[in-house]
Structure 1
Amino acid sequence: MTDQEIERIANEALNALLSPYGFVRADVTSGEDDLGDPALFVRAHFVAGSPIVPGAVLGDGLAAFRARLREAGEARFPYFDVQYARARA
């Protein structure tokens, strides 16, 4: 799968659960993990001042995303990072 296809899946899966917490979008980049295995690096962007996403909600979002990837035939492991926008002074 291309990064763009995976990004579309990420945004659909994560938006459903994380939008109440200020989720804006997800970016996906292909690469290798520390062991040299193919991997996906997913960064979820949130608006400034967003509340911290509860662990259970974040876990549910990641599980939904991973399930959608598997259904689409994607085997690479997604590493997840959260980015909160900085509030402007």
Structure 2
Amino acid sequence: MNLDDVKSLTEKTLADLLGQYGFDHVDLVPGKDHDDEDALFLTANYRGGSTLPGGDVLVGALTALRTTLQKSGESRFPYLTHHVEGEEEYEEEETGE
């Protein structure tokens, strides 16, 4: 699948599953994962003031997205993060170990 197809299918899938929680759009960046495999790095963006759903809903959304993409011929794994407009993004700190 090309990136436009992946983005379109991802936005439709997540809108169906997460729209009630304020899902707005997805940002998509192709890249390599920790095993140097091709992957999709996706950020689900929510309208300001939204409250993210619980982990069970988020894991269910990722599972449904992965299944939908696979059925459409996409082999890259989708790494999905979530961001609410206006909130600071979490960044891991280097521990120096």
Distance in 2 (alpha carbons) for counterparts of 1:44 and 1:12: 12
Aligned-pair identity in percent equals 33
Aligned residues: 87
Aligned twin of 1:44: 44
- Higher RCO structure, 1 or 2 (CA under 8 Å, sep 6+): 1
Following superposition, the deviation at residue 67 of structure 1 comes to: 0.8
SS in 1 for 2:6: helix
Aligned twin of 1:58: 58
Following superposition, the deviation at residue 34 of structure 1 comes to: 2.3
SS in 2 for 1:60: helix
1:80 aligns with 2:80: yes
Q: Please give the TM-score of this superposition, normalised by the length of structure 1.
A: 0.90
Following superposition, the deviation at residue 52 of structure 1 comes to: 2.1
Deviations 1:17-44 (A, max 9, x none): 1011110011212111122111000110
Give the conservation status (yes or no) of the 8 Å contact 1:4–1:28.
no
Deviations 1:43-80 (A, max 9, x none): 10001111121111111211111111111111111111
**1:69 alignment partner AA:** L
Gap runs ≥5 in structure 1: none
Give me the CA root mean square deviation: 1.2
Aligned twin of 2:92: none
Larger radius of gyration: 2
SS in 2 for 1:78: strand
1:18 aligns with 2:18: yes
